[in-house]
Structure 1
Amino acid sequence: MKKLLPLLPLVLTALHASAFAEEREWLPYKKLLEVSRVDKFHALPPAERDKLDMSIHLQPSSKEVSTRDVALTVVHAGGRTPLPIDAGGNLRLTPNPQWLAEDAKIMTNQPKTSKVAISPAMNAIVPPGTQWPYDALMGSIPQANAAIGKMAGALRMFAPTIRSVILRFDQPAQVTIAAKAGAKQYATDTKHQIRLKPDAALARENPQITLTARPREAELDSE
Structure 2
Amino acid sequence: MKRLLPLLPLLASLHAPAQAQEREWLSYRKLMEVSRLDKFYAMAPAERDKLDMFAHLNPSNPDLKARDIVLTVVHAGGRTPLPLDAQGNLHLAPNAQWLAEDAKIMTNQPSTSKVAVGPAMNAVVPAGTQWSYGTFMSSIPQSNAAIGKIAGALSMFAPTIRSVILKFDQPAQVTIQSKAGTRQYATDAKHQIRLKPDAALVKENPPMLLSARPHEAELDSE
TM-score, L = length of structure 2: 0.95
Query: How does 1:80-91 map onto structure 2 within 5 Å?
Result: 80-91=79-90
Post-superposition shift, 1:5?
A: 2.0
With 95-104 and 133-142 compared, the bigger mean Cα shift is at 133-142
Cα offsets for 1:108-132 (capped at 9, x unmatched): 1113223111111111111010001
Q: Following the alignment from structure 1 to structure 2, what is the Cα–Cα distance between the partners of residues 66 and 218?
A: 23
Verify: 1:102 aligned to 2:101, yes or no.
yes
Stretches of structure 1 lacking an aligned partner (at least 5 in a row): none
Which residue does 1:47 correspond to in 2? 46
Contact 2:5–2:158 (CA under 8 A) maintained in structure 1:
yes
Q: Which residue is 2:147 aligned to? A: 148
State how 1:174-189 maps to structure 2 within 5 Å: 174-189=173-188
Q: What does 1:163-182 correspond to in 2, within 5 Å?
A: 163-182=162-181
The residue aligned with 1:192 is 191
Return the offset for 1:141.
Answer: 0.5
Give the 3 Å change call, closer, same or farther, for CA 17–190 of structure 1 in structure 2: farther
Number of residue pairs aligned between Structure 1 and Structure 2: 221
Out of 64-73 and 94-103, give the one that drifted further: 64-73
Q: Cα distance, 1:17 vs. partner?
A: 9.3
Q: Residues 84 and 15 (structure 1 numbering): CA distance in 2 closer, same or farther, change over 3 Å?
A: farther
CA contact (8 A) 1:16 1:114 kept: no
Please give the alpha-carbon distance, in whole angstroms, between the structure 1 residues aligned to 2:131 and 2:26: 41
Residue 40 and residue 75 in structure 1: after superposition, are their counterparts in 2 closer, same or farther (change >3 A)? same
The 2-side partners of 1:141 and 1:15 are apart by: 39
Aligned residues of 2:165 and 2:194 also touching (Cα < 8 A): yes
Task: Report the CA distance between 1:166 and its aligned residue.
Answer: 0.4
- Cα displacement string for residues 127-178 of structure 1 (whole angstroms, at most 9, x for unaligned residues): 0100011133211101100000100011011110011000011111111111
Q: What is the match of residue 56 of structure 1?
A: 55
Measured in 1, the distance between the counterparts of 2:157 and 2:215 equals 29
Contact 1:24–1:111 (Cα < 8 Å) also in 2: no
Alignment of 1:119-138 (within 5 A): 119-138=118-137
Residue by residue over 1:177-214, the C-alpha shift from the partner in whole angstroms, topping out at 9 and shown as x without a partner, is 11111111111111111000011111111111111111
Gaps of 5+ in 2: none
Structure 1 residue 220 displacement after superposition: 0.5
Q: Distance in 2 between matches of 1:103 and 1:137?
A: 38
How far apart, in 1, do the equivalents of 2:17 and 2:86 lie? 18
* TM-score, normalising length: structure 1: 0.95
